[in-house]
Amino acid sequence: MNAPFDATAALGRKALAHPAPDHQVAVIGLGYIGLPTAAVLASYGWSVCGVDVSQKVVDTVNAGGVHIEERDLDKLVHDAITAQTLVASTEVPTASFYMIAVPTPLGPDNAPDISYVEAAARAIAPRILPGACVIVESTSPVGTTERVAAIIAEARPDLVVPSDGCDEEADIALAYCPERVLPGRIVNELVHNDRVIGGVTPACAERAAVLYTSFVKGDCLTTTARVAETVKLVENSFRDVNIAFANELSMIADVIGVDVWEVIRLANRHPRVNILQPGPGVGGHCIAVDPWFLVAGAPAAARLVRTAREVNDHKAVHTESKIRALLDAAPQGKVALLGLAFKPDIDDFRESPALEIAEALSHTHGNRILVVEPFTDELPPAFGGSGASLVTLDAALRQAEIVVVLVDHTAFKHLSPADLAGKLVFDTRGMLRR
Ligand code: SAJ
């Protein structure tokens, strides 16, 4: 019997009263999705082994710590490790459920790279026993779950592995269940969001649903693996397209000479209009990446999705050139660049347009660049030798003639007109208008 777990109030608790011996879950990949999922599962009575290739990550988690910043995660992991419901390892154990939550980056020419998912499948294959269920959570191109099935089938000819249209009784189950949590609200959304569970066969979906219905308070909707894979890509492409519309509007507004924030605020008073917010471009490991998986699956058909990606990528280039023009307008002045993260109040710099813009400027304008980022203690290595410096907001305001808001962190929101008096100001997020 697992020790009682003091879950956070926000999480709510639905612990299994009598966890059976087979209540073992192996979560492969202890990143932004895997670690919170492993800790939540542990808090709901599962016996969880989190697996990661990084010994450092494994040691940190086993010591009750976390290597990523995410609200409520530190307590959840600490309590699960203390209760011995969560353990971390570099080795894949034998388990009743395997959840794959490894990265799926973009390769050359924006082609999906599923090599980490394939490696996870190869690591699971020797361990898997009849009755087990393998679930892919990593955002993946359509067909990836079938690829995992093929890898396991090749490694384990002794097992009947389910395949599309297979009517033979399979020995194991295989499903795809995309994560859909928002960084910054992961622990809460893991429990409260609806989930789409796609089985390679209907029986596979039902088996995977056993895991999710044990901790998800939202609805668990079953479908096929291919549909579930597509749903994930469609969700993030929908958001990318909508952000691209806002970003394109901001560039149109520059040409026309109107205030984009006022245009959007007033247009959104129409009952059926809801325009998102422009920014310096789109970042993160999801929205800036996943639409390319959809494009890769249907290149000729996915014209709008591709164009949205191009518009959002171009917005970062456009933003950088506007900052360069300000630097030219104040040739001796320093610029304070506020924020490096890909969105407010997180420490995640992956695919961040703010980071890319700041890095590029640091290599041409060196010691004129003052970076303010409360979520880091040092500038990332790519700034090395550039002469740019990481300073506090107060120090930046004292020294800079130009202030650029790249990220609307809460720590910047108290900026007043008096703080910015006499400076050239470029607010890429409309933060100062809110
Ligand atoms: N952004 C804008 N304007 C907006 C909204 C966002 O420029 O109006 C920018 C953000 O600054 C950021 C980027 O878009 O650079 C992405 O941020 P986000 O908050 O839209 O999304 P993510 O990447 O943090 O999380 C998304 C979510 N997907 C959707 O909202 C459809 C989340 O639910 C997914 O789980 C996550 O991707 C994922 O892991 O795929």
Report if residue 52 sits inside a domain: yes
Instruction: Tell whether 214 and 239 lie within a shared domain.
Output: no
pLDDT, one tens digit per residue, over 136-155 is 999 999 999 999 999 999 99
Q: Are residues 269 and 199 in the same domain?
A: no
Q: Tell me how many domains the chain contains.
A: 2
Hey, what's the torsion of the CAs at 119, 120, 121, 127, to 10 degrees?
A: 120
One domain, residues 169 and 70: yes
pLDDT score of 434: 78
> Cβ(412)–Cβ(397) under 8 Å?
no
321 and 195 share a domain?
no
**What DSSP designation does 273 have?**
-
Last residue within a domain, chosen from 192, 218, 244: 218
Domain assignment of residue 227, yes or no: no
Ligand 1 atom nearest to 193, measured from its CA: 33
285 lies in the same domain as 411: yes
* Amino acid 69: pLDDT: 86
Q: What's the confidence (pLDDT) of residue 193?
A: 97
User: Cβ < 6 Å from ligand 1: which residues?
Assistant: 139, 179-183, 235-236, 239, 243, 276-277, 279, 282-284, 286-287, 342-343
> Any catalytic annotation for residue 56?
no
Which residues, at least 6 apart from 26, have a Cβ–Cβ distance to it below 8 Å? Answer: 48, 49, 50, 51, 92, 93, 95, 97, 98, 99, 124
For residue 200, give Cα distances in angstroms to 74, 170, 296, 370, 429: 35, 11, 22, 52, 43
Assign 24 to helix, strand or coil. Answer: strand
Q: Residue ranges of the alpha helices (H) in 215-352?
A: 225-256, 260-267, 290-297, 303-329
Catalytic residue among 232, 315, 334, 343: 232
Ligand 1 centroid to Cα of residue 98, in Å, is 27
Residues 179 and 299 both lie in one domain: no
Q: Identify whether 423 is a catalytic site residue.
A: no
Domain closes at, from 218, 250, 280: 218
> Would you say residue 229 lies in a domain?
no
Which one of 177, 286, 315, 343 is the catalytic residue?
A: 286
269 and 203 in a common domain: no
- The domain in which residue 116 lies consists of 7-218
Helix pair angle (144-155, 225-256), 10° resolution: 140
Give the CATH number, domain containing residue 84: 3.40.50.720
Residue 361, Cβ density class (10 Å: 0-12 exposed, 13-18 middle, ≥19 buried): buried
Does 223 map to a domain?
no
Q: Do 340 and 354 form a contact (C-beta atoms < 8 A)?
A: yes
Substitution site in 180, 185, 286 for ligand 1 pocket (most atoms within 8 Å of beta carbon)? 286
What was the pLDDT predicted at 23?
Answer: 87
358 and 397 together in one domain? yes
- Residue 408 in any domain: the answer is yes
CA–CA distance, 96 with 210 (Å, rounded to integer):
11
Domain membership flag for residue 226: no
Collect the ranges in the chain with pLDDT lower than 50.
Answer: 1-21
Task: Kindly state whether residues 196 and 252 are assigned to the same domain.
Answer: no
| pTM score over 0.95 | no
pLDDT at 94: 95
Q: How would you classify residue 36: left for phi > 0, otherwise alpha for psi between -120 and 50, otherwise beta?
A: alpha
Question: Which ligand 1 atom is nearest residue 407's CA?
Answer: 11
What is the rounded CA–CA span in Å between residue 143 and residue 135?
Answer: 14
**CB-CB contact of 309 with 245 (8 Å):** no
Query: Does a structural domain hold residue 1?
Result: no
- The number of the ligand 1 atom at minimal distance from the alpha carbon of 351 is 15
